[in-house]
Structure 1
Amino acid sequence: MQKFIKILGKGVVASALFFLLLTGCKEDFLNTEPLDSISSEATWADGPLAQAFIFNVYSFLGYGGFEEQGLSSLTDEAMFTHAGRNIRPFNEGTEDATNTAWMSATYQWDQMYLAIRQANVAIDRLPTSTFTDDVLRDRLLGEAHFLRAYYYHQLARFYGGVPLIDRPYGLDEDYSVERGTWAETVDFIVADLDEAARLLAGKTVTPGRATDLAAQALKSRVLLYDASDLHQSDLVTGVFSGYSNIELVASPSGDRAAKWRRARDAAKLVVDAATGYKLDLSGPVSAEEGKQNYVSIAMGGGSAVGDASAAVELIFERTKTPLYTVEDNWPLGGIHHGINNGPNGYNNWAGNTPIQQMVDDYEMMDGSYFDWDNAEHAAAPYDNRDPRLYASVMHDGASWKPRPPASRSFDMVDQIQTGYYDDGAGGTINGVDTRESSIENWNGSRTHYYHRKFIDPDPALPDNQSNAQTVPWPFIRYTEAVLNYVEASIELGEEDVAREWLSRLRYRVGMPAVTDSGDALRERYRNERRVELAYEEHRYHDARRWLIAPETLGRIIQTIDIRATLKPGATPHTPYRYDTDVYDYTYTVVENTENETRTWVNKMYYRPISRDEINRNSLLIQNPGY
């Protein structure tokens, strides 16, 4: 039985098409604007107009993960700097159906159903369209199936099983229907992705548009989730004690190995179909090359200082262009990711700042775990670490771009200053990138770190509104499929395969081979996934599906306090610069509850369905705990 829900409030209007200004189908098609309304019948009689309709379905992808408020700040990756953005109710577990916390439009219930309706219109009309280009028709239909699957997968990740709508509904139809079970939702998404892969096979590959490989990769993700702990009813009955509709969020475990085999095989198909970036190495590269390799991967071919061939990692991306974009001046998006997240000493806004728990999980260069109880580690916490740390996080003393004129007098060597330094006269110099800085202190990091990973490090590209970076957002990249393959292999006891692929991923960033087995291998894998996919919107879901959220996401935020004291007889630098020959540095981990006191309650495994949605559809059953 199909399950449906009202998706356009009290009135459903006839679907309208906005004609999109295109620079050619191979250009950055997501960055186009509607110019005029075209009649429905004209749309499906003309190939370019039908394609424009599909481009509008893509538009619901929004900025991807490049929004000002990132999903990372709802996890143990980051803290959002600015209070009053409605993040606190979520991280403190006080969100409910009447007062929902901040949600991105890229997964919000009503927005996803608007997107799904548009996809359903296309799936309904394309088979009987009258334009003559059959190849284009199949491609557009395949893209519509992919996008519908993507939007349903977003709903499933945040809400569990949802009403499954497979056609556009008219004005006089009943929209009150129940949620599909978790199993039904997974099956629906997988069926769409199989159809998308069939229709897109052999079609032209255009950056930013769905392909058969993208469909297979998304299927790999969905099946991995389906096999995970969160979605096994026997494992979550106690987690959601008293919830009588467990089938909405989990399915009977049954033959769990069969689920893992299905996930493994779907991932293996993707791994075999592509190559990824520098995954054919027989040993680790140097630390410096490892950092540069990871920078190149993060840049996705969109930076002058990265290896353009690293774009091979991208399976499905949001493209960018500085020449033509629909990004608004507020809120800023991907082209201004550096403004949203960079240091206040560069006149940037801090945004989603890494927390100490994230920094601590980057290993030492020899593959051992970082440990504050190790005196050598504690004395120099940024020395000899996994090179991905330096490519992902700005820490005190790290090199960065040339300073803007307003802060040049405080820093002549372009180093991040997030500490407090002895001035040699009994006073303290506040780092120019702290909240005690004279440069926009309200935009200073509360954690004393800054996000670096997706900010273009090109020194010729200042992070201000007169410039724009062109870094793509990685909805899906090859390495995720590799990690999916590794995880399923571990759960099936195929440890040799898991170690081989984990080692390949690590070699390209300068890290040693993996030799662990058993539970230690699983933990190594989980940390590798955390570090490799940091700030790519995976941690939120991974911690939940592994059922480790209470001890990870529920931790009080930790930050770092950095102090520099002059060595005996030394003369302070004027202006200050990081120098271990002149200063002794101490690093103290500090808990921070300025914006939020994080905790965990089990209802946080899912978002609530808002009271407005339930009022519109009395058959909706709320998620556990709300």
Structure 2
Amino acid sequence: MKSLKRYFHGLMLIALLTTTISCEDFALGEKFLQKPPSSDVTIDTIFSTAEYARRVLWNSYGYLPYSFNASNQYTNSVGLWYGILEGLTDLCNSSLTWDGVNINYYNGSYNAGSEDKANGTKYKFTARNGWKSIRMAWVFIENVDRVPDMGADEKSRLKAEAKIVIATQYAEMLRHYGALPIVDHAIEADDAQLPRRGTLQETVDFIIRMLDEAIACKELPWAVTEEESDNWSGRLTRASAMGLKVRVRLFVASPLFNSDAPYYDGEASTKLMTWFGGYDAKRWEDAANAGKEFFDEMKKEGFYGLVKEAEPRMAFRDAYYKRGTTESLISVRRHYRTNNIGGIMQGARWGAWGPTKEYFDMFPMADGSDFDWNNPEHSKNPFINRDPRLSETILLDGDIFGSGKADVCRAKSDDKKNYPAGIHYNNKTVSLDDKGLTTNGITARKFLLDRQGEWKNRVIQWPLLRLAEVYLSYAEALNECNRTAEAYPYINAVRNRVNLGDLKTGLDKKEFREAVLRERACEFGYEEVRFYDLIRWKREADFTKRLHGLYIYRHVVPEGTDKFAGEYKFDFPQLTARAWQKAGGFTPKWYLSAFPATEINKGYGLVQNPGWE
């Protein structure tokens, strides 16, 4: 027990003052105060000036969930070790044999002991730094009122921001573990005991309480003002809190937790830590009400809106990539530019980001109709007249790339003369197939590859929550409340941004649900949305279906003609089966992570998730 107490307490006071975070890293405004460490640093010292005190909160911000592979003080290199969460879904397949996706999950070896290893699992209960972030936020909340040179309005605003930080960390862990220990103050090393694991209802109530208290703070702005944006773009706002509330309400209303039976039996289920103990339609109503409250406030306050300034393709890119847009609700700033984050490209080039044929097929035609390989007009050239999001998510042959066009076709093994490899497939100087990027035959583009040199030295963010998700979450909640007709405008808003046109009317509840989940996949690929959608809906069929690559071959054309006019041929190789895709290999216990075995054994009331005992 003492070791976890030390973990919670492990944030040294000196670190609150001496950790260097600059505009080039976390980038919340001006460079932060630096003070040489000394033996006289105490809580009294830290909260003796506004400048020192703010830094406690900025450090708490610095640990917000960030999913680009990067090794620094805020990640401790934990996570899927160059793998990505999307690799556990049907959208992506990793061929990077030593990433966490392969060494712990694809082979079926994941267990509670895996969580005690240094790297390789999708969340680290004690090493992800969420608890450090929570502790710093509580230290700030409990001490900021003593700061002599900070006004009451700023103190109130910053405390509200700290509560959103706490809620954000809890919301992230909730999606991995279910119920959690409720830390409602700054835990000290000499506390009599650590909090037990609460029930699911207690955990949800705590998160919602933190968000509601922040929302009720009259000093917390709806959005960062134009006057503040140069220095304070990225700070949490009332819109951040209300948007996160929609995400949390939607997740806990879904069948994983909101059902007539637990997803898996065990002590934690008996103690209502992994489900509510029964189904209640009111949980969907709560999600719908949270959505209505958000959009009512947005209508009143303005500022936020789906990014539409550019042509549809670039508007979509700016929505997830660009900082400070009207779509960004929670923007995590840990690295300032792409130059500082080599890990993202390394993991991709080594094979961790491989999109699947199944994902490629999800994207509709440009008119909104389904893509169909059996339609000769579609299959003749499946890269044209498609949803603009496809060309920003997956690198398409013939698409604009660098100073020319992407030439990514494979050589046909039985006819290399007539179907040679494209220059970007196997040329040593410009190859995408460095160590596996095109292993599945098609290459991820989102976050990774430029059109005209734009990726290099580009300002970057992790889009933890953006407005498009709130639109689609509200549409889903309305549908589950049997208000499908009211839901259409919200899914159509996201579709219309990329000129897809409206979703066809007359869908029943199940059909509309499938349309929303597909829309979320197309909109949020590589943004860590799909995995949570699959587990909250207990989509065993999507986890167990066999996945395929998409090999592309193009026939040579006479010299002097456009080489991209050549006839295509395609192969759809079946990808290596994951453990849960083999007969008898799937178990619902995979929906939630295991707590580290060492933490369970400390005996402070952390009950293991079912199936991992």
Q: TM-score range by the shorter chain?
A: 0.7 to 0.9
Change in CA separation of 1:54 and 1:156 when aligned onto 2, cut-off 3 Å: same
1:541 aligns with 2:516: no
Change in CA separation of 1:10 and 1:148 when aligned onto 2, cut-off 3 Å: closer
What is the aligned partner in structure 1 of residue 251 from structure 2?
225
Q: Measure the CA separation in 2 of the matches of 1:328 and 1:279.
A: 28
Residue of structure 1 aligned with 2:318, choices 286, 289, 296 = 296
Q: Secondary structure at the match of 2:289?
A: helix
Matches within 5 A, 1:77-226: 77-88=91-102, 89-100=104-115, 102-103=120-121, 111-199=129-217, 200-202=219-221, 205=224, 206-226=232-252
Partner amino acid, structure 2, of 1:540: F
Matches within 5 A, 1:398-477: 398-402=399-403, 413-420=404-411, 426=417, 429-434=420-425, 439=431, 441-455=434-448, 457=450, 459-461=452-454, 467-477=456-466
What is the aligned partner in structure 2 of residue 553 from structure 1?
543
What is the aligned partner in structure 2 of residue 41 from structure 1?
44
1:318 aligns with 2:332: yes
1:18 aligns with 2:17: yes
Q: Measure the CA separation in 2 of the matches of 1:564 and 1:270.
A: 49
* TM-score, scaled relative to structure 1: 0.82
Change in CA separation of 1:25 and 1:452 when aligned onto 2, cut-off 3 Å: closer
Matches within 5 A, 1:567-606: 570-571=557-558, 578-580=563-565, 583-593=566-576, 598=581, 600-606=586-592
Cα deviations by residue, 1:123-180 (Å, 9 ceiling, x for unpaired)? 2222444444212211221121111111111111101101111112233334454311
Q: Contact (CA 8 Å) 1:182, 1:250: kept in 2 or not? A: yes
Q: Measure the CA separation in 1 of the matches of 2:277 and 2:379.
A: 46
Q: Contact (CA 8 Å) 1:606, 1:623: kept in 2 or not? A: yes
Q: Secondary structure at the match of 1:317?
A: strand
What is the aligned partner in structure 2 of residue 392 from structure 1?
393
Partner amino acid, structure 2, of 1:584: E
Residue of structure 1 aligned with 2:496, choices 507, 512, 524 = 507
Change in CA separation of 1:201 and 1:473 when aligned onto 2, cut-off 3 Å: same
Q: Measure the CA separation in 1 of the matches of 2:162 and 2:191.
A: 23
Cα deviations by residue, 1:552-591 (Å, 9 ceiling, x for unpaired)? 133333111122234xxx53679xx7422xx321112111
Q: Measure the CA separation in 2 of the matches of 1:426 and 1:128.
A: 77
Partner amino acid, structure 1, of 2:601: N
Q: Measure the CA separation in 1 of the matches of 2:30 and 2:421.
A: 43
Q: Measure the CA separation in 1 of the matches of 2:3 and 2:245.
A: 24
Q: Contact (CA 8 Å) 1:267, 1:485: kept in 2 or not? A: yes
Q: Measure the CA separation in 2 of the matches of 1:595 and 1:254.
A: 32
Cα deviations by residue, 1:404-434 (Å, 9 ceiling, x for unpaired)? xxxxxxxxx4324142269998476333444
Change in CA separation of 1:193 and 1:277 when aligned onto 2, cut-off 3 Å: closer
Q: Contact (CA 8 Å) 1:197, 1:212: kept in 2 or not? A: yes
Q: Secondary structure at the match of 1:210?
A: coil
Change in CA separation of 1:29 and 1:249 when aligned onto 2, cut-off 3 Å: farther
Q: Measure the CA separation in 2 of the matches of 1:427 and 1:187.
A: 64
Change in CA separation of 1:9 and 1:107 when aligned onto 2, cut-off 3 Å: closer
Cα deviations by residue, 1:386-411 (Å, 9 ceiling, x for unpaired)? 12111221023322113xxxxxxxxx
Q: Contact (CA 8 Å) 1:350, 1:443: kept in 2 or not? A: yes
Partner amino acid, structure 1, of 2:472: L
Q: Measure the CA separation in 1 of the matches of 2:305 and 2:9.
A: 52
Cα deviations by residue, 1:467-496 (Å, 9 ceiling, x for unpaired)? 421132211111111111111110111122
Q: Contact (CA 8 Å) 2:408, 2:422: kept in 1 or not? A: yes
What is the aligned partner in structure 2 of residue 345 from structure 1?
none
Matches within 5 A, 1:518-529: 518=508, 519-529=510-520
What is the aligned partner in structure 2 of residue 28 from structure 1?
28
Q: Measure the CA separation in 2 of the matches of 1:209 and 1:505.
A: 25
Partner amino acid, structure 1, of 2:209: A
Q: Measure the CA separation in 2 of the matches of 1:597 and 1:25.
A: 39
Change in CA separation of 1:424 and 1:155 when aligned onto 2, cut-off 3 Å: closer
- The offset of 1:48, in angstroms, is 1.1
1:60 aligns with 2:60: no
What is the aligned partner in structure 1 of residue 598 from structure 2?
612
Change in CA separation of 1:433 and 1:96 when aligned onto 2, cut-off 3 Å: farther
Q: Measure the CA separation in 1 of the matches of 2:441 and 2:580.
A: 18
Q: Measure the CA separation in 2 of the matches of 1:259 and 1:219.
A: 13
Cα deviations by residue, 1:524-555 (Å, 9 ceiling, x for unpaired)? 1111122112221111111111111x211333
Q: Contact (CA 8 Å) 2:329, 2:467: kept in 1 or not? A: yes
Change in CA separation of 1:23 and 1:75 when aligned onto 2, cut-off 3 Å: closer
Q: Secondary structure at the match of 1:192?
A: helix
Q: Measure the CA separation in 2 of the matches of 1:399 and 1:349.
A: 23
What is the aligned partner in structure 2 of residue 249 from structure 1?
274
Q: Secondary structure at the match of 2:241?
A: helix
Q: Contact (CA 8 Å) 2:368, 2:501: kept in 1 or not? A: yes
Q: Contact (CA 8 Å) 1:207, 1:316: kept in 2 or not? A: no
What is the aligned partner in structure 2 of residue 405 from structure 1?
none
The count of corresponding residues between Structure 1 and Structure 2 is: 574
Partner amino acid, structure 2, of 1:616: K
What is the aligned partner in structure 1 of residue 89 from structure 2?
75
Partner amino acid, structure 1, of 2:592: Y
- The offset of 1:512, in angstroms, is 2.0
Q: Measure the CA separation in 2 of the matches of 1:213 and 1:560.
A: 40
- The offset of 1:444, in angstroms, is 3.4
Q: Measure the CA separation in 1 of the matches of 2:604 and 2:563.
A: 62
Q: Contact (CA 8 Å) 2:67, 2:462: kept in 1 or not? A: yes
Cα deviations by residue, 1:282-321 (Å, 9 ceiling, x for unpaired)? xxx9xx933233223233258xxxxxxxx11111212477
Partner amino acid, structure 1, of 2:258: Q
Q: Contact (CA 8 Å) 1:4, 1:163: kept in 2 or not? A: no
1:332 aligns with 2:325: no
Q: Measure the CA separation in 1 of the matches of 2:347 and 2:478.
A: 37
Q: Contact (CA 8 Å) 1:8, 1:114: kept in 2 or not? A: no
Q: Measure the CA separation in 1 of the matches of 2:128 and 2:66.
A: 17
Q: Contact (CA 8 Å) 2:419, 2:554: kept in 1 or not? A: no
Partner amino acid, structure 1, of 2:379: A
Q: Contact (CA 8 Å) 1:5, 1:178: kept in 2 or not? A: no
Change in CA separation of 1:545 and 1:379 when aligned onto 2, cut-off 3 Å: same
Change in CA separation of 1:110 and 1:482 when aligned onto 2, cut-off 3 Å: closer
Q: Measure the CA separation in 2 of the matches of 1:34 and 1:456.
A: 36
Q: Contact (CA 8 Å) 2:92, 2:355: kept in 1 or not? A: yes
Q: Measure the CA separation in 1 of the matches of 2:601 and 2:30.
A: 34
Q: Contact (CA 8 Å) 2:27, 2:333: kept in 1 or not? A: no
Change in CA separation of 1:22 and 1:394 when aligned onto 2, cut-off 3 Å: closer
- Is 440-449 or 592-601 further displaced after alignment? 592-601
Partner amino acid, structure 2, of 1:6: L
Identity rate, percent: 24
Q: Secondary structure at the match of 1:487?
A: helix
Give the superposed CA RMSD: 3.6
Q: Secondary structure at the match of 1:446?
A: coil
Q: Secondary structure at the match of 1:248?
A: coil
Q: Contact (CA 8 Å) 2:95, 2:439: kept in 1 or not? A: yes
Q: Measure the CA separation in 2 of the matches of 1:479 and 1:604.
A: 28
Q: Measure the CA separation in 2 of the matches of 1:475 and 1:106.
A: 18
Q: Measure the CA separation in 1 of the matches of 2:153 and 2:314.
A: 40
Q: Secondary structure at the match of 2:111?
A: coil
- The offset of 1:112, in angstroms, is 1.9
